[in-house]
């Protein structure tokens, strides 16, 4: 397969690249519109980026819920879905879509497996980097199933070095080439090996979860327990994704408190909607992060007994 060369830029909903630094026509993949939980939200983060790119923005493909999606329904550059419609972004990127958007110079993507796989698939004209990569992206992004061996191998490396731009670039390059260069696995596997001690610390930390009965309004009846953990003292020493998953093994809802944030998660198909419960404008309904100053309100919103709120959130 002959690949078109693209500039590559990494992003998150809260931290977008400067529009003036991006070359030519730009496509944005798997980057959610900023929610109210982010400082400034959509109006101060996402909207200025869209406006500054102007006609150079060729496409924005994403699968995270957001109230501002409606504003762009009539703009063909924006292909926006909910998490329920598409569990991962790569499955939205088809040869037909890539052809319709046309040639781009720069690909902006999220920094997780879902985003990097989206970038690689775009570079390949909408063709999967390897057979089953769409399924792996969905499994990893929803945590609703086990990814295949290749997906797990790449995901462990990315979780070990989530902010290593060099590694992110290698992963995209490897995927875009269809995994054709075996030598690229060396750097990826070195990073993956670094995840083992982080995983061990995370599992040990999970033993400190406390469980409580809760009664969140408008949630399914089986969403009735909370696993709570204040991990502030262990900041930077654990994997939050794994920690939240381990919490969900103990209760229907997991909550982890860290330095500045409170992360709340439930299983992908649980029916939980934390966006509605906490009054957030966008993100994943079953996985949200809110400022730590909202901890008391979040616990009360989940229906935790007031005595327990005062004890664990003080």
* 101 to 60, 78, 105, 198: CA distances (angstroms): 10, 10, 12, 41
Nearest one of 198, 292, 264 to 236, comparing CA atoms: 198
pLDDT bucket at 4, cuts 50 / 70 / 90: low
Q: What local confidence, expressed as pLDDT, does residue 156 receive?
A: 97
Angle at 176 between CA 173 and CA 6, to 5 degrees: 75
pLDDT bucket at 259, cuts 50 / 70 / 90: very high
**Angstrom distance (rounded) from CA 149 to CA 15:** 31
pLDDT bucket at 313, cuts 50 / 70 / 90: confident
Q: Is the pLDDT of residue 314 over 80?
A: no
pLDDT bucket at 1, cuts 50 / 70 / 90: low
Q: How far is CA 273 from the centre of its chain?
A: 16
What is the DSSP secondary structure assignment for residue 278, as one 8-state letter? T
What tokens appear for 150 in the block? 């290749």
Q: Which residue has the tokens 């109006």?
A: 43
Centre a 10 Å sphere on the Cβ of residue 75 and count the other Cβ atoms it contains: 12
Q: List pLDDT tens digits, range 149-205.
A: 999 999 999 999 999 999 999 999 999 999 999 999 999 999 999 999 999 999 999
What tokens appear for 244 in the block? 């939240």
pLDDT, average across residues 28-33: 97
The set of residues, in sequence order, having a beta carbon less than 8 Å from that of 197 and lying 6+ positions away, is: none
**Angstrom distance (rounded) from CA 81 to CA 87:** 9
Pairing of strands 210-213, 78-80: unpaired
Q: Is the pLDDT of residue 37 over 80?
A: no
What is the DSSP secondary structure assignment for residue 2, as one 8-state letter? P
Q: What local confidence, expressed as pLDDT, does residue 219 receive?
A: 94
Q: Which residue has the tokens 């089953």?
A: 132
**Angstrom distance (rounded) from CA 6 to CA 8:** 6
Angle at 171 between CA 168 and CA 173, to 5 degrees: 110
- Whether 194 contacts 287, CB under 8 Å: no
- pTM (two decimals): 0.92
Q: Is the pLDDT of residue 11 over 90?
A: yes
Q: What local confidence, expressed as pLDDT, does residue 40 receive?
A: 76
Residue 62, SS3?
strand
């Amino acid at each position: 397969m002959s690949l078109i060369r693209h500039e590559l830029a990494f992003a998150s909903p809260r931290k977008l690249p400067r529009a003036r630094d991006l070359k030519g026509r730009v496509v944005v993949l798997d980057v959610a519109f900023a929610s109210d939980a982010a400082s400034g939200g959509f109006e101060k983060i996402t909207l200025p980026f869209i406006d500054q790119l102007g006609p150079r923005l060729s496409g924005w493909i994403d699968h995270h819920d957001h109230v501002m999606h409606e504003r762009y329904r009539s703009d063909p550059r924006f292909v926006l879905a909910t998490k329920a419609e598409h569990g991962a972004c790569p499955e939205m990127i088809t040869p037909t879509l890539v052809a319709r958007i046309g040639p781009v110079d720069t690909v902006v993507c999220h920094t997780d497996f879902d985003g990097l796989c989206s970038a690689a698939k775009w570079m390949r004209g909408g063709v999967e980097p390897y057979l089953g990569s769409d399924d792996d992206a969905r499994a990893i992004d929803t945590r609703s199933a086990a990814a295949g061996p290749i997906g797990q191998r790449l995901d462990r490396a990315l979780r070990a070095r989530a902010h290593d731009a060099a590694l992110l670039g290698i992963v995209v390059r490897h995927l875009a080439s269809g995994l054709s260069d075996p030598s690229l696995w060396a750097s990826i596997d070195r990073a993956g090996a670094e995840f083992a001690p982080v995983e061990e610390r995370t599992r040990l930390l999970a033993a400190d979860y406390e469980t409580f009965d809760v009664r969140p309004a408008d949630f399914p009846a089986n969403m009735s327990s909370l696993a709570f953990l204040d991990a502030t003292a262990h900041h930077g020493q654990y994997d939050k994704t794994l920690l939240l998953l381990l919490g969900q093994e103990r209760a229907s809802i997991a909550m982890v408190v860290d330095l500045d944030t409170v992360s709340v998660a439930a299983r992908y198909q649980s029916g939980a909607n934390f966006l509605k419960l906490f009054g957030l404008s966008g993100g994943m309904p079953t996985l949200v992060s809110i400022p730590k100053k909202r901890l008391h309100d979040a616990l009360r919103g989940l229906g935790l007994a007031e005595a327990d709120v005062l004890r664990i959130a003080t």
